Amino acid sequence: MKTGRFDGEQAEYRRGNFGFAHEWLQEFRTLDEVLQRLDALRSADPGHRYLCTLDDVSQCSYTSGHASQDERLYLDDPEDMNWEDSAQEQALTLASLQHRVAQLQRPELVQDWAQVCGTLLLAAEDVDAVLLANRSPEVLLDDVVYVQRLPVPSDELMIAGQPNGYFSADWDSFQNHAVIRHLAGQYGYRFFGMGAAWMGFVRASLPDAALVERLIRDLRMLYGQGQDEVREHAGWAQLASVLLSRHTLMLGYAESLTEGLGLELPAG
């Protein structure tokens, strides 16, 4: 796997809207290779959290930039800001992150899992997209993966460094945060990746059958509450079998998951 940094004028890639971009990864074959790199970074630097991108880095940067301007998350620029002073710009980047961390924890803004259930309008075939994304999570990875080094107090709050959910049909940052917290607290899935339409989670150990059964019931309601074709789709039973042999869980937060991935689903 090839890695590189974002420092210097000759850097191969630009940070975009990823204010804490630390390094980029290329020429990986599997998601497990990316996760191993994240684990190595975490072990060597326990004072920071490391979040990677998933699908469509360019689109993810674009939508994250807009999602950061949500009035619940946005910190106004200082009136005397000198944009040619890199120290001032870095200080504002950090202050903005800290503001988003605080806002995501304000009781009057926090959402819970039950509030999010049924709020994403999906078609039945989108369950097949979730199934395929979990069977072969590499299809979610862009050719280059950005890794951010975030000074935040918990993995659940890494979303403050890469808020997303810009379009009106998507889950927004507060809804995504509710999903992240629930999966960590109830199922031991740690948030590790954020893409333009997908989030990635990983467990330290394989889940057992009882945990997966509970998880699938929750996911059917998360995506299918009020949408019978989605809730009763046969793909959920197949997803249960897949998750028993994987440490990871990949979940979409945008509409038209199938179309967005460009996956060719099995006929019928």
Residue 268's pLDDT band (cuts 50, 70, 90): very low
pTM metric for this prediction: 0.95
**Which tens digits make up the pLDDT trace of 5-53?**
988 666 789 999 999 999 999 999 999 999 999 999 999 999 999 999 9
The secondary structure of residue 143, as a DSSP letter, is S
**Which tens digits make up the pLDDT trace of 166-213?**
899 999 999 999 999 999 999 999 999 999 999 999 999 999 999 999
Helices of type H across the chain = 31-44, 57-67, 86-104, 113-116, 125-135, 173-187, 209-224, 228-231, 235-243, 257-261
The whole-chain average pLDDT of the chain stands at 94
